[in-house]
Structure 1
């Protein structure tokens, strides 16, 4: 187990405790059946981490776990508010604690103003935002008891500013950014690290099935996993990539509305996937 620097000077001087050695780390990945979560599971297994794998598809999880030395398979639906607590109890029973929790489950459905429905928007927000909130609520008491550990939240660069076709997805990611920032302020003084992961376009099965336009700076899931692990090794709060794309979106965030709306309307940038 690792511990973040405690006290004001410790956590202000270095945002998070760097995680440079994964050997024996007890890691729970939610959203592990595909995309970034599956790529992280493979990479961390290779680095010697002990893994607990969660997603809706128990079959995919078991198939993934067959390639690992040892892993807990804990299927759950992030929209089930009680599922995280039950899974956490299973992890405590097996391991006695948890060191790193990675919340990477998410959904994307293209949506413009004329396609907006409350049911679709509610499903997106429940999965992308409330599912993360439920997961955090389930693990924070244990991390505080341990006086250490880390939470990593996969948000998305689509949360930086409003983008076309992201009428529900973008707000859910924007809320995650705010949630992670506030969570860091609350937990860092108690020795708990909070990592915010904001990817641009990542070649996940869901994204590739939904998108019908060229995606700038597209990265594969294995590359995304390596960049996440590198960012955690440096103790960063926000891990965003590919930087040539995400830095451009950050610049757009600084523009006044009059300029931003013109640029966004004329550019090929529509949204990004976390």
Structure 2
């Protein structure tokens, strides 16, 4: 009988199988095009198994994967890792609890990233519990050191981040959690798009309802994700538009008072 793996790390074979499976799901979902996207799994204290550069995630094989250390140096494999590996390594460095990272370009979420709109509205209970809010990291040239630097502030307190004009990154305690957060992120963005731009209305949850969901999230052992905005946590100035005539009268009165005081001096 084969001995069961009780380590917190997947074996090389287990991780390789999981990466190929997730790559196919990302490709079939339309989260990546051509050779876009990358996936990594931590398989040891100083070992990462990751996807190669210039390979479609829908046609990837286990033999193509490459093993690197936490400094990005290749340990084994006949291919080169993606230039975006720096981003994955930064997530692992900033948050030791992370065991897997996914990066993709899901079209709706990426559209929000291009528009500079964070995913922070409390409209879906599942999104509040499983994902939380998704901030936007400042724009950085893909493949450069500026990318990992841009996401570093978000790695401990959130479960995902949008990359301005680029795509999305998610992470988790295993590669399936990281990938499921990617799915949740795209679904959340899609619902926000429909309610905001097509239907034109979204009934947001209240702060009390959000608090209850955050408590459920904590009970699941998830202490990251931030707290989305509820309908009673903010109010648009459009809700109570100012009286322009009143403002003009106030300005005129203040001006007269200032001029009178100035002339008397």
TM-score greater than 0.5 by the shorter chain: no
TM-score normalised by structure 2 residue count: 0.29
Larger radius of gyration: 2
TM-score normalised by structure 1 residue count: 0.28
- Structure holding more helix per residue: 1
- Does 1 or 2 have the higher relative contact order (CA < 8 Å, sep 6+)? 1
